[in-house]
Structure 1
Amino acid sequence: MTELLAFLKSVQGSHVTVKDICDYFEIRGITVGTTTIYRQLEKMVSEGLVAKYVVDGTSSACFEYTGDEEESQAVCYHCKCEKCGKLIHLQCDEVENLKQHMLEHHDFEMNPLRTVFYGLCSECRREQS
């Protein structure tokens, strides 16, 4: 489905849900079933073009176009805003140091795809002030 791939490429670096994708197609008058979108996304995940993130049991899965190059598959942790739900990429050497510390000193290996830090994003913190 070339329209889906084109959309994902256009929002590269962002996380989108199936609802976001459905809304995008609906606005453009493109009729496509939710099942078809899920099936195509899962195919793209298995091909390594798209990353799938399941942050917690209360949120929809998020998808992100990562392309097919090795360098785009960098380790990435996430921060989730507890107020607005925004999911933010976190590529940080300090977190990699924490991962190494957890392994060496606590015999625990962190999974970057499932490690999420919860707190408030900058916009929500500003709103609180």
Structure 2
Amino acid sequence: MDNTFKEFLQEKGYKFTKQRQVVMEVFAEREGEHMTTEEVFHYAGKKMPEIGIATVYRAVSLLESIGFLTALTFEDGTTRYERRLEDEKHKHHHLVCNVCHEITEVNVDLLDDLEEEIEKTVHFHITDHNLKFYGICDKCSRKKEGEANEV
């Protein structure tokens, strides 16, 4: 894994450091999670206790700017990051629970026809899109139903 991270950074023209490696490892080990920089700092600190929050902020910012991470901002205004896989044409979509704020990834993308139509009629080349659905997850719905039945 170290060599893959090292090669990725060097391809992009950046130096490979132990701190950047640790941050990249955190995302690789927590694939599919949507983490704030503070959460990344927490996990990175377990691997490298001497790492500072400013170093993690700089590493996350760099990794997002060179395409290793994708930044996502949800309604609460918090920016979360997830690892972007090299073979992804588009980011996957997200379901956000309004009650527990759990984020679920959805890998169904039915927007190809819409993108083609936009490109054809507006002459706008689409490179990506981001779609979020808000609602109530199954766990919160069942909990709410259970509370209603108790009354």
For normalisation by structure 2, the TM-score amounts to 0.65
Query: Residue 102 of structure 2 corresponds to which residue in structure 1?
Result: 86
Determine whether 1:64 maps to 2:68: no
Structure 1 residue identity aligned to 2:56? I
- Quote how far apart the aligned CAs of 1:29 are: 6.1
Structure whose CA Rg is larger: 2
Query: Residue 46 of structure 1 corresponds to which residue in structure 2?
Result: 65
Kept after mapping to 2: 8 A contact 1:50/1:65: yes
Determine whether 1:2 maps to 2:21: yes
- Quote how far apart the aligned CAs of 1:31 are: 2.8
> Structure 2 vs 1, CA of residues 20 and 97 (structure 1 numbering), >3 Å: closer, same or farther?
same
For normalisation by structure 1, the TM-score amounts to 0.74
Query: Residue 24 of structure 1 corresponds to which residue in structure 2?
Result: 43
CA–CA separation in structure 1 for the residues paired with 2:105 and 2:78? 17
Kept after mapping to 1: 8 A contact 2:26/2:44: no
Q: Could you list the runs of 5+ residues in structure 2 that have no partner in the other structure?
A: 1-19, 146-151
> Structure 2 vs 1, CA of residues 79 and 112 (structure 1 numbering), >3 Å: closer, same or farther?
farther
